[in-house]
Structures are given as structure tokens and as C-alpha cells.
Amino acid sequence: MDYNNIKTAILGSTGSVGTQAIDALSQFGAEITMLAAGKNHEKLIEQALAVNPRIVATSDETCAEKLKEALSHTHIKIYSGEDAVCRAIYDCGASLIVHSISGMAGLPAALAAAETGARIAMANKEALIAAGHLIYNRLEKSGGELIPVDSEHSAIFQCLCAQGAAHPSRQADPSKVRRILLTASGGPFFGWNSEQLDTVTPEMALAHPTWKMGPKITVDCATLMNKGFELIEACRLFGVDSSKVEVLIHRQSIIHSMVEYIDTSVIAQLSYPDMRDCVRFALTYPDRAPAGSPPLDFAKVGTLTFHEPDNEAFPLLNLARETWSRGGTAPASLIAADEEAVDAFLKKKIGFGDIARVVIAAMNKITVYDADSEAPIYRAEQEARCITGDIIKAISK
């Protein structure tokens, strides 16, 4: 297939996934018609000059001024302001939108992208966790589709495709699935107990053994909160109950996830860890292109190991499962509470072990609303931030 005529947009282009997406799409010669990012104007200017998009969008006014100055000699249009990214999504005409804006800040863009009828290569888990049902409602109306880019969910999607149970608009047939086996590297503190975890510094937590990511998601991987989020994300994406999603610690990060079917057959997706493979698959699905990571050398890989997670030392994984059961706006509250706690840890206001304690305490105090529109989701998010902030102040005095 010729991918040269495919117009693509990359949201969160200056982040880890965004930069890899540019690399992956450029290999195919896909036209990158829009870039969107936050405050990193130097990186965004560099990317704009390299890929020559039609539109560059940022909600940060200082970044916008720097862009206008640096790109004044080009034809590139600069969109700025609070709604800049959403306006650019509607105007850019992309048929593939790579969404890698991190956090709840990516929800408005996700909803806008779902209304365009484009394919969304989704790397933002928070929007799906908090409002996946609203995103899918818009996709159904627009005729768009969503392909997951998280390595684990891309793997699950591919396993479902292999069984013929996947569909791009609503991928899984839950009746065929006995278990989804969600793999996790275990982070840098695999095997540590609660007392040891209380000694962890931000510098230690940011040293992930497998992936190079932003600081927030790296800390989430260390607490296993990220795997908890991915558990909820799997329920959203594949239409399964949380009881069908199990987490396995797999230190080698070669098996990215597995699906067990009702006949107990298990299909796994294996590769060296490289997010560009997931972006490429989202672009080419249902086809595959002859590009990617080096082929697996199974003799060199040697042994693949698996362990159950330590839910006592890492309680946020079970908290995520309980949060999904609460339903409504509870997942949005969990995201907000965790964002506040991780930010406090990175600023050295609380300890590593306090992250879980703070988030659990906050989730015991939240109010859960019906998530029938964006408004209650945003309300729950803000209330959770206030509750979490008060708890952090109390323990950091």
C-alpha cells in the first residue's frame, strides 16, 4: 500500500511517543500535516522545520510567540490559545491522528478527534479511562476508528486480530475471551517491600529498566499505577469485565501481552520493545509493512519469566480494579489524585510510599457522579485534585 497520500496529525509531538511517531511515519513517507504540543517551543520549532506541516498548534501563548517568530518565513499556520489543538484537529484534514498528549489534558483533543471520522492512533490512556464511552459514541457517529498505541494494548489488539475477533470500531468479542494477560516490566523496584520503597528518591524512580518516557508515566510504572490504568484501559477498549484482566510481571518485556480464549488457547504478541512498531501498526492496520524493530533472536532472548504482582507492596494496582468497579466518574478521580500525588513526589514534598497512601486516602473521600457527559467528569477531576491537595498538605507539614 502507498502511504504517501495519507495525511497525519501528531498531538503531543514533542513527547517521547510523539517524537517516535514522527520517526515511524516519516519512514513511510506519510504527510504530517499538523503538529501540536505544549511548552517545548525549541523542540516544536525543530520538528516543524523538519517535517513542514501545514499547521502547528499550541495552547501555550509564550510558545506560540516563539513559533511565530521562528516560522515567519514559512507557510506554516500557527494556532494558539486554549482551544488551539481542537481547532487544528478540525481544520487539518488528517485521516490518521496520533494522540500522545499526556494526562487528562488530552481529553478535549480526544473528543475532537473522534468527531472528525479519522483513525485515531491512541497513546493517551487517561482520556480513554475517564471518558472512553464518550469517545466511542463520537466515533460511532463520525465513522472514525481507534487503534491503541500503548504497547500492551496494541499487543492485545493484534492477538484479537489473529483470532478474527477484532473490529476497528469496537475491537473485541468478549464472549470469545477467557482472560486478557496484561504484562508489566515490574519497574525498577521489582521485589522490593514497603519499607524499602519508602527510601526511594525521584532520581531512583525515574530510572525505568525498559522504556524511555516522561517523568509522570515513569513514576507510575514504578508504583504499578500505570498498570492499573492499563487494566481499566483494557476494559474500555475491549469490552471485558475487569475480572477477565490479569496482570503478570514479565521482566524481559518481550511478550507485550496475551489473550487466552475460551478453549484455553493463548495467543501472544512478541517483539523487542519499540513504540514505533505500535505507531506503524496503527497506520498500516489491517495490513503490515516490512519495517520495524530487528527480528527477535530467540536464542539470545533465552528465558522468559513471569511473576504475580506484589499487591501488598504495590497496592495501586488493586485500587485501579476497585475504581473500575465503582464506575461513573471514579476513574477520572483516580487519574487526578495520582497526578497530584506524583507531582508532589517529584517536587520532594512527599515520599515514594506516600504516593499510594495519598491516592488511596483521596479515593476514599471522593464523590462518584454519573459520567454521562464531559461536565461531571471535569467536576470529579477538580474535586479529586482539591481533596488530594489537602491530604498532601497535611502529611508534608
Q: Which domain holds residue 108?
A: 7-148
According to the model, what pLDDT value does residue 228 have?
98
- CATH code assigned at 134: 3.40.50.720
Q: Is 50 exceeded by the pLDDT of residue 88? A: yes
Lowest mean pLDDT among 23-32, 48-57, 328-337, 376-385: 23-32
Q: Is the confidence at residue 218, as pLDDT, over 80?
A: yes
Q: Is residue 347 part of a domain?
A: no
**H or E segment at 24?**
helix 16-28
Residue 203 lies inside a defined structural domain of this protein: no
- 315 found inside a domain: no
> What total number of domains does the chain contain?
1
On whether the CB atoms of residues 35 and 44 are closer than 8 A, the answer is yes
Q: Is residue 154 part of a domain?
A: no
Average pLDDT, the chain: 93
- The reply to whether 98 falls in a domain is yes
63 part of a folded domain = yes
What letter does residue 192 receive in the DSSP assignment?
-
Q: Residues near 386 by Cβ (< 8 Å), separated by ≥ 6?
A: none
Residue 374 lies in a domain: no
Between strands 255-261 and 266-270, the pairing is: antiparallel
**pLDDT tens sequence across 287-343:** 888 876 789 999 999 999 999 999 999 999 999 999 999 999 999 999 999 999 999
Q: Does the pLDDT at position 92 exceed 80?
A: yes
Mean of pLDDT values over 68-81: 96
Q: Is residue 298 part of a domain?
A: no
